[in-house]
A and B are shown apart, each in its own frame.
Chain A
Amino acid sequence: MEGPTPVSALIHAATMVTAGVYMIARTHVLFDHSPFALGVVAVVGAATALFAATIGTVQNDIKRVLAYSTISQLGFMFMACGVAAYSAGIFHLVTHAFFKALLFLAAGSVIHAVGGEQDLRKMGGLWRTLPVTFAISTVGVLAIAGFFPFAGFFSKDAILYAAFEHGMLGRALWVSGLFSALLTSFYVFRLWYLAFLGRPRSYTGRHHATPWTMLGPLVILALLSIGGGWIGIERFSAFLAPATGARRVEGGGGHLEMILALSTTAVALLGLLIADWLYRRRPDAPAELAAALPHGYKLLAHKYYVDEIYGAVVVKPLLGFSKFILEWVVDVAILGGLAWLLGGIAMLTGAILQRWQSGNLRSYAAWLAAGAAALLLFVLVPWATVLASLSAIHLGMAGH
């Protein structure tokens, strides 16, 4: 997200963030053996979708909104994998690639046009100056929000349907997913209203016309975002069947399918209406709402303090432990102390022995004399006699 916008588009749409979903689908043989692991995947996915969508509703950086949206959509894909609807997950991965790349590139076009400004609060009214970008972004927004007949509708619907069919846990996932879809619709329309509609607010940069080299790819992506969903989940599952297995037939048709599809569309519409109410009719309402719920707003604005929690739970303790316990106590005090002690003993022995080699002639002479005396003593003393008399004394004492 911090990278150059085309790089963000590539990373978010295609390569990095979707690797996990691909890996689960690829190794589904393993996951199929463990319903528990699948359940974890599903719950984590649903939680991620909800968690990131709520954060996305209060971000003001245009690219940041899209980044959290990616995380949220990734949650949808995981949820699909978790209910063993791998082809639905991959289907959403594909359609998401179309409209997310589109939205990121459109955001790049917008940022380029307003002189590098990324703050949504300072944009506004861009539909007039960037009509093509506006039109294309509208396609992207409708697609991600899940409006029929755009691409996002088909894949999101397939996921929610698969979840609904997945027993009790599935129903809970479906409710959570539906709510996340509502939030998705809300935050993208919020972005849409803030950036393109209303009056121009305080962006300072001069307008750059967007060149066709930037718009060309956008048009292609827009066409895919409109038509990409018509592949249909049935055909897509059949296409993936050799890789993901064909046990599950998603999208059976019938009443249930119809009702679920309608509910998906309904929440998308609801999201649009809320955004419309908050950002068009009552522009003061968002600020009032934030003021009315200061704690909730702060929690979302700080992304649930996840970074802070990691910092406090993992990074700081690890660094503190390494610094104070491992480095100071173990390395410096204990191991360093031991080495110092060993070195100290060697030095001390050396210092004592060094006294012999003082370099002082008189001292050498004294040692020489002492040595000669000791040697003479050793040679001249009749040790045998001395020892004999000593032992005699000893024996005599013992005898008494």
Chain B
Amino acid sequence: MNEINQSILTLILLVPLAGAVLVALAPDRFKLPNWIALLTALVAFGLTLHLPAHFLLGRGGFQFEVNRPWIENPVIHYHVGVDGLSLWLVVLTGLLAPIGIVASWNAIKERRKVFYSLFLVQQTAMFGVFISLDLMVYYGFWELSLVPMAILIAMYGRKDGPKAAMKFFLFTFIPSAPLLVALIWLYIQTGSFDFTTLQILIAHGSFPAGAIYWVALAFLFAFAVKVPVFPLHGWVADTFSEAPVALAMVVAGKLGLYSMLRFHIGLFPEQARAVAPWVIGLAVVGILYGACLALVQRDFWRLMAFAALSHLSLITLAIYGMTLTGWDGAVYQILNHAVVDGALFILLGALYDQYATSQINAYGGLAAKLPRTATLFVISALAMIGLPMLGGFVGEFMILSSTFSGVSKSWTVAAALGVILGAAYMLWLVQRLFYGPESQMATSKPPHDLKVGQLVVLWPLAVLMLVMGLAPSLWLASIQTGVHPPQSRIPNLSPQSVLSISSLGEAQR
């Protein structure tokens, strides 16, 4: 068992990559790429389930840790591990992959080898982001996650893929440059890329005060674009309209939000505290702004984009509220949002594949023709709104209550207003798509309701929303071990040992 624990994270990284190679080598016949990709993704998902099964709740710090020297100069270690913060995000990434593949099963008809192969590379990159504890390795995976996404958007865009891909790439790639500079600056100062070492050194060491502030800001900037935080959301609407469903499901949110928690607040708690009021302000603006814009969108992909801006801003608010409950709620809401968004994207994708339009007013009265789609859509929409008993309620409640008691009452009121607007645009969307008089388009085309393949992934998601609403402690117990303040994770560390680590860095340099 110990050996499995030692190698499980490496396996999780390698399995999708191996699948990508296999897909690339195999002939494009009999849906072979689909099957290989699906099997690989399922194996990877199965492997990720090993993590929560063997995660030790009582222990703080990282588990399943591997730390081997990789490159001598500069000192880069292959250092991976998970804690309560990343544990479920890894599982979530594993879960969404087979779902994304099933959602693309019939939608992707051309160049399937390229699609599935890049999709699996993207999968490895996301796993890598969540488990890397060496900042250079992390940065590599972070960048790697952008590339397949941009290529796939360009290749499979619905109308103007290349333009959306360009926008996505510029928006997410440009902020990565300051991040790299900041990483190198940190390395020059400390001689280490290692997360835990840096955490200790930054907490105890003395750096030029102005410089470290800017370094922290460079980290935040890169993550904020990826979340996105207002006003850096310019890429989202186009990306959501163009990206294939399987990618739109994963493009926004979790990578950036996780990175904020781990690498911005985790590494630079003081600097993060200093900018927190600003981020909170932007988050509240984003909540209301996204909700207002979602209300007036005529295209459901764009509606989903602004809805995502609103919901992810709420999570950002919780993260920079700097309260423990807020962090628990934030991680929980990341999971919940990804599950709900995934289901909604699959359903909207099914509608789009059938009717070839995302204009909301072309739909109407579909509930009688597509009862399964309508049922699952309503369940997911209610989970998104935050109806009690469904997952969204738990996360939103934790976020709002912690903000109310720990941050600011007026911000909470504003954020709650966004939640109300969220109910407005989601229910209005449901009404315009599925109820009311049957539209001409709905009557003229023969209806094709969800097929077994889609139901097999959607019903489990719906059940998951329910379980997440009823038994949040299944997840929160381990999340809580991860979001303890960074200080408490550095137990009994004397200044001498810090000094020795720091001199180690000097020597290596």
Partners in one complex: yes
Residue numbers of A with Cβ under 8 A of B are 318-319, 321-323, 326-327, 330-331, 335-336, 339, 342-343, 346
Distance in Å: Cβ of A320 to nearest Cβ of chain B = 9
List A contacts of B167 (CB < 8 A).
Answer: 339, 343
Contact residues of B between 155 and 182, Cβ < 8 Å to A: 167, 170-171
Is the CB–CB distance between B296 and A322 below 8 Å? yes
Which among B289, B293, B296 has the highest number of chain A CB atoms within 10 Å?
Answer: B296
List B contacts of A346 (CB < 8 A).
Answer: 170
Distance in Å: Cβ of B297 to nearest Cβ of chain A = 8
Is the CB–CB distance between A318 and B292 below 8 Å? yes
Is the CB–CB distance between B295 and A319 below 8 Å? yes
Known: A335-B234, A339-B234. A327 touches B293 (CB 8 A): yes
Known: A336-B234, A339-B234. A331 touches B170 (CB 8 A): no
Give the docked Cα–Cα distance between A327 and B305 (Å).
13
Instruction: Output the nearest chain B residue to A339 by Cβ-Cβ distance.
Output: B234
B231 at the interface (CB under 8 A from A): yes
Contact residues of B between 205 and 239, Cβ < 8 Å to A: 231, 234
List A contacts of B296 (CB < 8 A).
Answer: 319, 322-323, 327
Give the docked Cα–Cα distance between A331 and B232 (Å).
11
Is the CB–CB distance between B170 and A343 below 8 Å? yes
- Name the one of A318, A330, A335, A336 contacting B295, with C-beta atoms under 8 angstroms: A318
Give the docked Cα–Cα distance between A263 and B66 (Å).
85
List B contacts of A326 (CB < 8 A).
Answer: 289, 292-293
Is the CB–CB distance between B295 and A322 below 8 Å? yes
List B contacts of A323 (CB < 8 A).
Answer: 296
Give the docked Cα–Cα distance between A346 and B173 (Å).
13
Instruction: Output the nearest chain A residue to B294 by Cβ-Cβ distance.
Output: A322
A-B contact pairs, 20 of them (CB 8 A): A318-B295, A319-B295, A321-B292, A322-B292, A322-B293, A322-B296, A323-B296, A326-B292, A326-B293, A327-B293, A327-B296, A330-B289, A331-B293, A335-B231, A335-B234, A339-B167, A342-B170, A343-B167, A343-B170, A346-B170
List B contacts of A343 (CB < 8 A).
Answer: 167, 170
Ranked nearest first, the 5 interchain pairs of A and B with the lowest CB-CB distance are A322-B292, A323-B296, A322-B296, A339-B234, A326-B292
List A contacts of B234 (CB < 8 A).
Answer: 335-336, 339
Give the docked Cα–Cα distance between A318 and B291 (Å).
11
Instruction: Output the nearest chain B residue to A346 by Cβ-Cβ distance.
Output: B170
List B contacts of A336 (CB < 8 A).
Answer: 234
List A contacts of B289 (CB < 8 A).
Answer: 326, 330
Give the docked Cα–Cα distance between A319 and B231 (Å).
20
Q: Is the interface of A mostly helix, strand, loop or mixed?
A: helix
Give the docked Cα–Cα distance between A319 and B293 (Å).
9
Give the docked Cα–Cα distance between A326 and B294 (Å).
11
Give the docked Cα–Cα distance between A274 and B231 (Å).
64
Instruction: Output the nearest chain B residue to A321 by Cβ-Cβ distance.
Output: B292
Given A335-B231, A343-B167, 11 more A-B residue pairs with CB atoms under 8 Å apart are: A319-B296, A322-B296, A323-B296, A326-B289, A327-B293, A327-B296, A330-B289, A339-B167, A339-B171, A343-B170, A346-B170
Query: Chain B 422-440, CB within 8 Å of chain A: the 1/0 string?
Result: 0000000000000000000
List A contacts of B295 (CB < 8 A).
Answer: 318-319, 322
Distance in Å: Cβ of A199 to nearest Cβ of chain B = 36
List B contacts of A321 (CB < 8 A).
Answer: 292
Instruction: Output the nearest chain A residue to B290 by Cβ-Cβ distance.
Output: A326
Distance in Å: Cβ of A395 to nearest Cβ of chain B = 44
Give the docked Cα–Cα distance between A322 and B298 (Å).
13
Instruction: Output the nearest chain A residue to B231 by Cβ-Cβ distance.
Output: A335
Give the docked Cα–Cα distance between A369 and B231 (Å).
49
Distance in Å: Cβ of B234 to nearest Cβ of chain A = 5
Give the docked Cα–Cα distance between A355 and B311 (Å).
46
Contact residues of B between 291 and 316, Cβ < 8 Å to A: 292-293, 295-296
Give the docked Cα–Cα distance between A322 and B290 (Å).
10
List A contacts of B231 (CB < 8 A).
Answer: 335
Give the docked Cα–Cα distance between A326 and B289 (Å).
7
Instruction: Output the nearest chain B residue to A324 by Cβ-Cβ distance.
Output: B296
Give the docked Cα–Cα distance between A323 and B297 (Å).
8
Distance in Å: Cβ of B20 to nearest Cβ of chain A = 31
List B contacts of A330 (CB < 8 A).
Answer: 289
Which among B167, B171, B292 has the highest number of chain A CB atoms within 10 Å?
Answer: B292
Distance in Å: Cβ of A75 to nearest Cβ of chain B = 25
List B contacts of A335 (CB < 8 A).
Answer: 231, 234
Give the docked Cα–Cα distance between A326 and B170 (Å).
24
Distance in Å: Cβ of A33 to nearest Cβ of chain B = 19
Instruction: Output the nearest chain A residue to B174 by Cβ-Cβ distance.
Output: A342
List B contacts of A331 (CB < 8 A).
Answer: 293
Give the docked Cα–Cα distance between A318 and B418 (Å).
13
Distance in Å: Cβ of B353 to nearest Cβ of chain A = 28
Instruction: Output the nearest chain B residue to A325 by Cβ-Cβ distance.
Output: B292
Give the docked Cα–Cα distance between A346 and B169 (Å).
13
Instruction: Output the nearest chain A residue to B289 by Cβ-Cβ distance.
Output: A326
Instruction: Output the nearest chain B residue to A320 by Cβ-Cβ distance.
Output: B296
Give the docked Cα–Cα distance between A330 and B170 (Å).
20
Give the docked Cα–Cα distance between A247 and B170 (Å).
69
List A contacts of B171 (CB < 8 A).
Answer: 339
Which among B167, B171, B234, B289 has the highest number of chain A CB atoms within 10 Å?
Answer: B234
List B contacts of A342 (CB < 8 A).
Answer: 170
Instruction: Output the nearest chain B residue to A328 by Cβ-Cβ distance.
Output: B296
Give the docked Cα–Cα distance between A330 and B289 (Å).
10
Give the docked Cα–Cα distance between A21 and B295 (Å).
32
Distance in Å: Cβ of B163 to nearest Cβ of chain A = 10
Distance in Å: Cβ of A311 to nearest Cβ of chain B = 13
Query: Chain B 456-472, CB within 8 Å of chain A: the 1/0 string?
Result: 00000000000000000
Give the docked Cα–Cα distance between A321 and B292 (Å).
8
Give the docked Cα–Cα distance between A346 and B167 (Å).
12
Distance in Å: Cβ of A315 to nearest Cβ of chain B = 9
List A contacts of B170 (CB < 8 A).
Answer: 342-343, 346
Distance in Å: Cβ of B9 to nearest Cβ of chain A = 38
Give the docked Cα–Cα distance between A321 and B293 (Å).
9
Give the docked Cα–Cα distance between A323 and B292 (Å).
8
Give the docked Cα–Cα distance between A322 and B295 (Å).
8
Instruction: Output the nearest chain A residue to B234 by Cβ-Cβ distance.
Output: A339
Give the docked Cα–Cα distance between A343 and B238 (Å).
15
Distance in Å: Cβ of B253 to nearest Cβ of chain A = 20
Give the docked Cα–Cα distance between A319 and B292 (Å).
8
Give the docked Cα–Cα distance between A327 and B306 (Å).
11
Give the docked Cα–Cα distance between A339 and B228 (Å).
15
List A contacts of B293 (CB < 8 A).
Answer: 322, 326-327, 331
List B contacts of A318 (CB < 8 A).
Answer: 292, 295
Give the docked Cα–Cα distance between A330 and B231 (Å).
10
Distance in Å: Cβ of A327 to nearest Cβ of chain B = 6
Distance in Å: Cβ of B309 to nearest Cβ of chain A = 10
Distance in Å: Cβ of B238 to nearest Cβ of chain A = 10
List B contacts of A339 (CB < 8 A).
Answer: 167, 171, 234
Distance in Å: Cβ of A314 to nearest Cβ of chain B = 10
Give the docked Cα–Cα distance between A153 and B393 (Å).
42
Give the docked Cα–Cα distance between A107 and B289 (Å).
46
Distance in Å: Cβ of A170 to nearest Cβ of chain B = 34
Give the docked Cα–Cα distance between A335 and B231 (Å).
7
Which among A318, A322, A323, A336 has the highest number of chain B CB atoms within 10 Å?
Answer: A322
List B contacts of A322 (CB < 8 A).
Answer: 292-293, 295-296
Contact residues of B between 164 and 202, Cβ < 8 Å to A: 167, 170-171
Give the docked Cα–Cα distance between A326 and B231 (Å).
12
